[in-house]
Chains A and B, each alone.
Chain A
């Protein structure tokens, strides 16, 4: 079964460093998402992306965050200058339609900021 793959599975970074989390969405999907889950808390929406542009973003997704689809297969989340409170599991997701269809999630990338 097709799946969303994410790398790295775990990354430890120093506060203030830039981090890039990578995702390969399911190949025929057109809509892409990033979510995060702080340890012990619920899953929070960060951003949705369609047709090479952001379609929706949350208040969490401030100027420190950016997303990019650099080629036909990858979808990245960049955090420019990490803070301690950015420590979380980051999930990439994709769907073949923006609404009405299943949204599939990857296994996540654990980010620990020290």
Chain B
């Protein structure tokens, strides 16, 4: 199977706290991308990290990639209620993007 896992499946935090989501995959990858999905809406691209990169930042987002462990993490700092959404990692390998199961993040005001 080329599927991976994301954990936690659900995360509930207070506004201002940091949220960390983890992703594991099983294949060789070219890059790994993180997406956000509000309920019933489209997939919004957040950040891309290439296989030769270890860490990347974008605003309040920090992504790490450990290709030896086939894992990635997404950290959202100083969370806001508006960050409430599902977050998916997706790895690009063998010409297609494969999605993880996703983490449902709820940020309480």
CB contacts between A and B, total, < 8 Å: 61
Report the minimal beta-carbon distance from A9 to chain B, rounded to whole angstroms. Answer: 10
Contact residues of B: prevailing secondary structure: strand
A43 touching B45 in the complex, CB below 8 Å, given contacts A55-B95, A105-B35: no
Contact call B97/A42, Cβ cutoff below 8 A:
no
* Number of chain B residues close to chain A: CB under 8 A: 24
Contact call B43/A98, Cβ cutoff below 8 A:
no
- Range, interface on chain A: 20 to 34
Contact residues of A: prevailing secondary structure: strand
B residues with a Cβ closer than 8 A to A are: 30-31, 33, 35, 40-45, 48, 50, 88, 90, 92, 94-102
A selection of 9 A-B contacts at a CB cut-off of 8 Å is A43-B43, A44-B99, A91-B42, A93-B43, A99-B31, A99-B92, A100-B31, A103-B45, A103-B90
